[in-house]
């Protein structure tokens, strides 16, 4: 198991290191017309706080407007991470297409002007973004309760108000536990960190319990350039998984290979090593 990224452990102002994701689709009413709306989730990797912005479309310009509003409210942001669109499946096909259609160069140029790093996780590596992916389920649970009281026929103003309500509720959730002592202080929540009310508690209670390692404690063989592998695909039978050769390995800061570049019969891919099944190591191949 790899170490947690440094940007999740480093004491920093809220949203200095941020993950971003889409949520949607929502249908709102404007007179007799029905319009599509989406939510953009910004997650602080340090405090687990969120900020929700409403997007009128899945186009690049609309996403950049959400980024600008987020940065204008939260101040300096050093790094923004997101998943590649190929991680999305099922009911999120529309969001999948949105990530694919976003003009990455345009976004990177805009953030470069603001001195912000834009980092993409490898395709099919949703586990690398679980810190912000997990927020989607929490947000949907809160939204379902609010929709029960307000109905699903929203206008634009009510939709944006509900997003603010969701943001407040999610940021009030506990991220640590209390003891059984009735005099014990209340648990730490992202909102307390967000308003800088409990920075010492973040170090003392949250960080020390952040990563437990119940498995993957032994060092495994590193994937090497030239290895022959099978590429896992949960949507197809194993007999149809494509054969590939590793053409480049991408180590982390400790020298452990976390993702690789592959060549299959028809394409070149970038995948995490968790999606590979080693068939023939490079050293066992007969030249």
Pairing of strands 79-82, 17-30: parallel
For residues 250 and 276, give the distance between their C-alpha atoms in angstroms, rounded to a whole number.
14
Over residues 31-73, the pLDDT tens digits come to 888 888 889 999 998 888 999 999 998 888 888 889 889 988 8
85-119 pLDDT, tens digit per residue, is 543 333 345 555 665 666 777 777 777 777 888 88
Instruction: Report the distance separating Cα 7 and Cα 79, nearest Å.
Output: 9
Q: Report the DSSP beta bridge partners of residue 42.
A: 20, 51
| Whether pTM exceeds 0.75 | no
Task: Name residue 35's beta-bridge partners.
Answer: 28
Topology at the third CATH level for domain 6-171? Nucleotidyltransferase; domain 5 (3.30.420)
Question: What distance in Å separates the CA atoms of residue 280 and residue 232, rounded to the nearest whole number?
Answer: 15
The rounded distance, in Å, linking the Cα atoms of 193 and 210 is: 16
Q: Rounded CA gap, 56 and 59, in Å? A: 9
């Amino acid at each position: 198991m790899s170490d947690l990224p440094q940007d999740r452990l480093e004491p920093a102002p809220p949203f200095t290191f941020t993950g971003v994701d889409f949520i949607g689709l929502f249908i709102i009413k404007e007179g007799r017309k029905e319009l599509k709306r989406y939510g953009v989730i910004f997650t602080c990797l340090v405090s687990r706080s969120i900020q929700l912005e409403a997007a009128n479309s899945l186009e690049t310009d609309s996403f950049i407007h959400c980024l600008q509003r987020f940065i204008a409210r939260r101040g300096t942001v050093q790094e923004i991470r997101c998943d590649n669109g190929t991680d999305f499946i099922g009911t999120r096909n529309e969001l999948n297409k949105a990530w694919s259609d976003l003009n990455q160069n345009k976004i990177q140029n805009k953030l470069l002007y603001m001195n912000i790093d834009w980092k993409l996780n490898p395709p099919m590596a949703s586990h690398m973004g679980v810190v912000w992916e997990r927020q989607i389920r929490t947000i949907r649970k809160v939204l379902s309760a609010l929709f029960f009281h307000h109905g699903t026929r929203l206008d634009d103003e009510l939709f944006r108000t509900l997003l603010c309500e969701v943001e407040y509720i999610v940021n009030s959730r506990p991220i640590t536990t209390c003891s059984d002592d009735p005099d014990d202080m209340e648990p730490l929540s992202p909102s307390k960190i967000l308003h800088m009310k409990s920075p010492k508690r973040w170090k003392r209670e949250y960080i020390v319990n952040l990563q437990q390692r119940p498995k993957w404690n032994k060092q495994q063989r590193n994937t090497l350039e030239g290895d022959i592998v099978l590429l896992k695909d949960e949507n197809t039978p194993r007999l149809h998984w494509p054969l590939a050769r590793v053409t480049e390995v991408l180590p982390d800061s400790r020298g452990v290979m976390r993702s690789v570049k592959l060549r299959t019969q028809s394409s070149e891919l970038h995948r995490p090593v968790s999606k590979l099944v080693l068939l023939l190591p490079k050293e066992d191949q007969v030249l």
